Amino acid sequence: MEKPELNNNQTDAIIEVKNLQIKFGKQEVLKDVTLNLYKGENLVVLGKSGSGKSVLIKCIVNLLTFKNGTIKVFGDDILLMNRNEISSMRKKIGFLFQSGALYDSMTVKENIEFPLRRIKSELNEKEIDEKVKEVLENVGLIDSINKMPSQLSGGMRKRISLARTIVIDPLIMLYDEPTTGLDPITANEISELIKNIQEKYNTASIIITHDIHCARTTADRLVMLREGEIYLEGNLKQFEESKDEMIMSFFK
C-alpha cells in the first residue's frame, strides 16, 4: 500500500475521523478509517461500489451509528452528543443524497423551504422567498420553482437537491455520488456547481464519487477506499502519477 506525504499545511480539521470501524452483521464495511477534513477544502473519497464510502459520510451525520472509533465534528465527539446537540450539528452540515431525496409530495419551492423554515426559523416569509429564489438562480432552475419533483429530469433533481442543501448556508457539504446516473454533460455541470459552491460559500466538502472527471474538477485532496480501508491518500498529482494498478485503472 502506497502512502505519499500530504502536500498541505492546513491544521484546522473540522471533521476528524479516527480508527472508524463499522460492521453490518458479520460484514465489516469499514475496517480502520482515519481521515480529516480541513476548513475550506474539497476532499474527494474515491472507491469501488461497496467499499464503504457512503457509510463513512452517513456516520459523520449520525445517520448510521458505530461503536468503534471516533468522529469529531467541529471538535465535538458525536458519540458523546445528545439528540439536541446532534440536531444542532446537523444544522451546519448539508448532505446531498445519491438519489436527490426530494420530497415527492412537495413542489420545488416547498422542498427548498422545508429545511429553511426549520433551521432558520427567525426568517420571515419575504426573506424565505428571497432565499429560495437566490439558491434556485444559483443552480439555474428558477423557472422550475412551482414544479413537482416528478416533472424534473435526473440532472434537474440533483440541482434542486443541491439548492435545498445550500439554502441553509452549511459550513460543511457532504456529497454522496453527486454525478452518478447523469449524462456526461450534466455530470460536468454538477461538478462545476460543486466547485462554485465551495468558492462562493467557502464550504468544506467531502465528495463521495467514482467519477474521475468529478474528482479532477472538484478535488483539493483525495482519499481512496478499498475494502473498508484507506488505500491511498494524496493530492490529484500524486494520484495521477501513481504506478499502483488499482489507482491507474481509475485514472486512465
Among 23, 31, 48, 91, binds other proteins (CB under 8 A): 91
- Number of residues located near other proteins, criterion CB under 8 A: 22
Which residues neighbour 197 within 8 Å (Cβ) at sequence distance 6 or greater?
138, 162, 166, 173, 203, 205
Q: Does 102 bind other proteins (CB under 8 A)?
A: yes
Q: Does 104 bind other proteins (CB under 8 A)?
A: yes
Q: Where are the alpha helices (DSSP H) in 78-228?
A: 83-90, 108-119, 125-138, 154-166, 184-201, 212-218
Which residues neighbour 199 within 8 Å (Cβ) at sequence distance 6 or greater?
none
Which residues neighbour 38 within 8 Å (Cβ) at sequence distance 6 or greater?
8, 10, 11, 12, 13, 14, 204
Q: Which is nearer to other proteins, 163 or 247 (CB)?
A: 163
Q: Which is nearer to other proteins, 74 or 251 (CB)?
A: 74
Shortest Cβ 58–other proteins spacing (Å):
8
Q: How many helices (H) and strands (E) does the chain have?
A: 9, 10
Per-residue x/- mask for other proteins, residues 35 to 74, rule CB under 8 A? -----------------------x--x-x-----------
Shortest Cβ 35–other proteins spacing (Å):
20
Q: Does 95 bind other proteins (CB under 8 A)?
A: yes
CB distance 162 to 136 below 8 Å: no
Among 77, 103, 146, 213, binds other proteins (CB under 8 A): 103
| Cell 484546522, located at residue | 12
Which residues neighbour 28 within 8 Å (Cβ) at sequence distance 6 or greater?
21, 22, 228
Shortest Cβ 169–other proteins spacing (Å):
13
Q: Which of 160, 170, 221, 235 is nearest to 197 (CA)?
A: 170
Cell of 177: 455520488
Among 3, 118, 200, 213, binds other proteins (CB under 8 A): 118
Applying CB under 8 A, the span of 97-105, 139-147, 213-221, 233-241 interacting with other proteins comes to 97-105
Give CA–CA dist 154/180, Å, rounded. Answer: 10
Per-residue x/- mask for other proteins, residues 168 to 187, rule CB under 8 A? x-------------------
Q: Does 97 bind other proteins (CB under 8 A)?
A: yes
Residue ranges in contact with other proteins by CB under 8 A: 58, 61, 63, 87-88, 90-91, 93, 95, 97-99, 101-105, 114-115, 118-119, 168
